[in-house]
Amino acid sequence: MTVVFKRINKDQALLGAAIIVEAYSAAPWHEHWSIDMATARMVELSTTPGWMGVGALDGDDLHGFAIGYPHTASTGCMLYIPEIAVMPVHQGKGIGTTLLKLLEQEALAAGFSSTWLLSQNEGVAADYYRSASYRQSPNHRIYSKPLK
């Protein structure tokens, strides 16, 4: 079959849980997601007001996805992209790049002024986003704190 790139609905987005488990266990992430936690993540994303998702579908098979949701700031309404993932067997074929471009086009058509995301500081993922014209913000850093 042929891979089709298009907007996805909640049910299609939930198929992304298996992709999170597979893709994020590999380099460069080395994260250990259970299918239950990955499903919870996809439910969380696909029920956020204003969310939009795009997928690479081969029939009912989801090869990859990108999801974003609104983030309003003083500079306007931006689309925050918290997740983009491609099944490892399909990586390196331009699927992630096509998904990112499609999500950007959908965001522009919906009136968003820009997109933004969080990723690794250096390495393969950082190089990928730089090649897609994303730039690291000189003004922002991520802070976190474990809750006890």
Cβ distance 66 to 100 under 8 Å? yes
Res 67 pLDDT > 80:
yes
Please report where in the chains the tokens 């992430």 appear, as a residue: 29
Q: Is 134 exposed, middle or buried (0-12, 13-18, 19+ CB in 10 A)?
A: middle
What secondary structure letter does DSSP report for 89?
G
Could you tell me where the DSSP H helices lie in 16-62? 16-23, 35-46
Domain ranges of the chain: 4-131
- What confidence tens digit (pLDDT) does each residue in 94-120 have? 999 999 999 999 999 999 999 999 888
Mean pLDDT of the region 74-102: 95
Q: How far apart are CA 61 and CA 55, in angstroms?
A: 10
> What is the structure's pLDDT at 140?
81
Please report where in the chains the tokens 């299918």 appear, as a residue: 35
The model's pTM is 0.91
Q: Which CATH architecture has domain 4-131?
A: 3-Layer(aba) Sandwich (3.40)
> What is the structure's pLDDT at 26?
83
